[in-house]
């Protein structure tokens, strides 16, 4: 098993220094496990979300997009099992951060006492006393703060999709098998959050529910497993850092027929962790909503002249956690041949990089800044670029390497007469001379790869 170094501490500092991720409400001392995305972070996250949307919705005729509200009818959470299921007495281990039901037979000793032993990491005295815990954030709707007005912030986007299953199917006239995808915020009052943006209390999900005829579910489950792994590989995540983890019988949710996680090796002690879950949920969700709402959520198959409640294969991935994987995967420090100063590089795939090109005049005279400004303004119409004329050219290259900018365009003495510029590749460090009027095409092609 590869043992990648732990780069988390260095990344947290780079993310703050360069404007990827800031602690929420930092000037007040921060909010627990909540983070804000800075100018570069928001671009990177958006590129990631757009890529998912394109692969899951735009490029397919069998998946529809949806955007449902965060606040839903409270009965939704009774039907989904989040209200009943999320208020168990739980204990957590301060060492390995795992959480257990207080009545877990694998716990030896009394939780909260020094004799108690964590069933996962085996440490003694690290288990908290049992406490009732509901992962959902609760608030009130309207002016009266009583139990009748209680409402929850959704802990997943999927339920908004289930309750809209027929609205989407009927308005689009989709036939099974088809899917519904959405990207949106989710909130979980995690008791063991941490590892930077890995596990937070406010995060986003990109979830797709694929509705299939019962009996064809395992075929579709295998299909989606393969598709989703390919998608992660396409982000540029190293193949040896990705693996599947199959849920064993005691990990499986009671309604799930099969579940696999896509795991990424975050390095150090965190190691392989889930970034996406692929679940065969059977007909559990639609059946529950039928029961609790009293409304039928059946599909009518015209060709076969039969009605049924479809099964669901779900793919659920977090853009925040995947963004962390992308940063961890891309971070490297290296020496450059012939130079004394090393460099820090974020080896992001050009398609995801927040800034596609740095544009520099070699010196601030002889018409070079004017020409560089003109190039930057032109390119800015198609993708984000950054104009920089401050400091030595080597420094300017380093600043772009550190934020993952794949190309640096330099206007030099030859440029103003020959109408050409140099384009430096972040990874190979090779410089090519390109005609100014070919720049859009050249970079456009490289970032589409």
Contact positions with ligand ATP (CB under 6 A) in 137-156 = 156
As measured in angstroms, the least distance from the Cβ of 55 to ligand ATP is 16
The residue whose Cβ lies closest to ligand ATP is 318
Closest approach, Cβ 108 to ligand ATP, in A, equals 24
Alpha carbons 346 and 326: distance in angstroms, whole number: 9
Q: Is 11 in the site for ligand ATP (CB under 6 A)?
A: no
Nearer to ligand ATP, 42 or 166 (CB): 42
The verdict on 200 binding ligand ATP (CB under 6 A) reads yes
Cβ burial, residue 434 (10 Å; 0-12/13-18/19+): middle
Q: How far is CA 174 from CA 148, 261, 430, in A?
A: 37, 28, 50
Minimum CB distance to ligand ATP, residue 275 (Å): 5
Indicate the residue among 276 and 412 with the shorter CB distance to ligand ATP: 276
Q: Which is nearer to ligand ATP, 276 or 285 (CB)?
A: 276
Task: Using CB under 6 A, pick the residue from 82, 99, 154, 188 that binds ligand ATP.
Answer: 188
Tokens of 310: 């479809």
Which residues fall within 8 angstroms of residue 268, CB to CB, at 6 or more apart?
4, 5, 6, 7, 8
Ramachandran quadrant class, 194 (left: phi over 0; alpha: psi -120 to 50; beta: rest): left
Kind of pairing between the strands at 357-361 and 385-387: parallel
* Helix pair angle (368-380, 439-448), 10° resolution: 50
203, containing H or E segment:
strand 202-212
| Residue of 157, 161, 174, 205 interacting with ligand ATP (CB under 6 A) | 205
Q: Does 92 bind ligand ATP (CB under 6 A)?
A: no
Q: Could you tell me the smallest distance in angstroms from the CB atom of residue 193 to ligand ATP? A: 6
User: Could you tell me the strand order of the sheet in which 63-65 lies?
Assistant: 63-65, 178-187, 202-212, 311-317, 272-282, 258-265, 242-246
Instruction: Classify strands 178-187 and 63-65 as parallel, antiparallel or unpaired.
Output: parallel
Closest CB to ligand ATP among residues 185, 291: 185
**Cβ nearer to ligand ATP, comparing 321 with 356:** 321
Q: What is the DSSP letter of 124?
A: B
Residues numbered 246-285 forming contacts with ligand ATP, rule: CB under 6 A = 274-277
Kindly identify the residues of this chain, within the stretch 288-327, that bind ligand ATP according to CB under 6 A: 316-318, 320-321
313 closest CA partner among 245, 231, 258:
258
Interface region with ligand ATP, contact rule CB under 6 A, candidates 80-88, 121-129, 199-207, 416-424 = 199-207
| Residues 153-172 as x/- pattern, contact with ligand ATP by CB under 6 A | ---x----------------
Alpha carbons within 13 angstroms on the beta-carbon side of residue 424 total 19
For residue 232, the minimal CB distance to ligand ATP (Å) is 11
Binding footprint of ligand ATP, residue count (CB under 6 A): 16
Kindly list the residues in this chain that would bind ligand ATP in the complex (CB under 6 A). Answer: 156, 188, 190, 199-200, 203, 205, 274-277, 316-318, 320-321
């Amino acid at each position: 098993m590869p043992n990648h170094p732990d780069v988390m501490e260095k990344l947290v500092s780079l993310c703050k220094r360069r404007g990827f991720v800031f602690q929420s409400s930092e000037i007040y001392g921060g909010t627990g496990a909540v983070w804000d995305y800075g100018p570069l972070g928001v671009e990177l996250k958006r590129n990631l979300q757009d890529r998912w949307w394109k692969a899951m919705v735009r490029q397919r005729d069998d998946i529809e997009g949806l955007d449902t509200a965060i606040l839903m009818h409270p009965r939704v959470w009774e039907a989904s099992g989040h209200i009943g299921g999320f208020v168990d007495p739980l204990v957590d281990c301060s060492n390995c951060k795992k959480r257990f039901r207080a009545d877990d037979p694998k716990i030896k000793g009394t939780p909260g006492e020094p004799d108690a032993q964590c069933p996962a990491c085996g440490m003694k005295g690290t288990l908290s006393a049992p406490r009732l815990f509901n992962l959902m954030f609760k608030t009130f709707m309207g002016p009266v703060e009583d139990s009748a007005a209680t409402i929850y912030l959704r802990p997943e986007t999927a339920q908004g999709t289930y309750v809209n299953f027929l609205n989407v199917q009927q308005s689009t006239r989709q036939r099974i098998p088809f899917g519904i995808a959405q990207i949106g915020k989710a909130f979980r009052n995690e008791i063991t959050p941490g590892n930077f943006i890995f596990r937070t209390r406010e995060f986003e999900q990109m979830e797709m529910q694929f509705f299939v005829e019962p009996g064809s579910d395992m075929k579709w489950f295998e299909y989606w497993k393969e598709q989703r792994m390919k998608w992660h590989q396409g982000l540029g995540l190293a193949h040896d850092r990705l693996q599947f983890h199959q849920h064993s019988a005691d990990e499986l949710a009671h309604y799930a027929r099969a579940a696999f996680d896509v795991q990424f090796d975050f390095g150090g002690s965190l190691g392989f962790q889930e970034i996406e879950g692929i679940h065969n949920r059977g007909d559990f969700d639609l059946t529950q909503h039928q029961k609790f709402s009293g409304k039928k959520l059946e599909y009518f198959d015209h060709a076969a002249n039969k009605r049924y409640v479809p099964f669901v294969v779900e793919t659920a991935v977090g853009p925040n956690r995947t963004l962390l994987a992308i940063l961890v995967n891309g971070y490297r420090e290296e020496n450059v041949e012939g130079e004394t100063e090393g460099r820090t590089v974020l080896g992001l795939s050009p398609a995801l990089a927040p800034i596609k090109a740095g544009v520099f005049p070699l010196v601030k005279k002889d018409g070079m800044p004017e020409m560089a400004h003109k190039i930057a303004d032109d390119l800015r119409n198609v993708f984000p670029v950054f104009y920089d004329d401050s400091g030595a050219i080597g420094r300017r290259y380093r600043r772009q390497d550190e934020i993952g900018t794949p190309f640096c365009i330099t206007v030099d003495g030859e440029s103003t007469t020959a109408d050409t510029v140099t384009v430096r590749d972040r990874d190979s460090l090779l410089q090519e001379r390109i005609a100014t009027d070919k720049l859009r095409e050249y970079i456009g092609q490289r970032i589409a790869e």
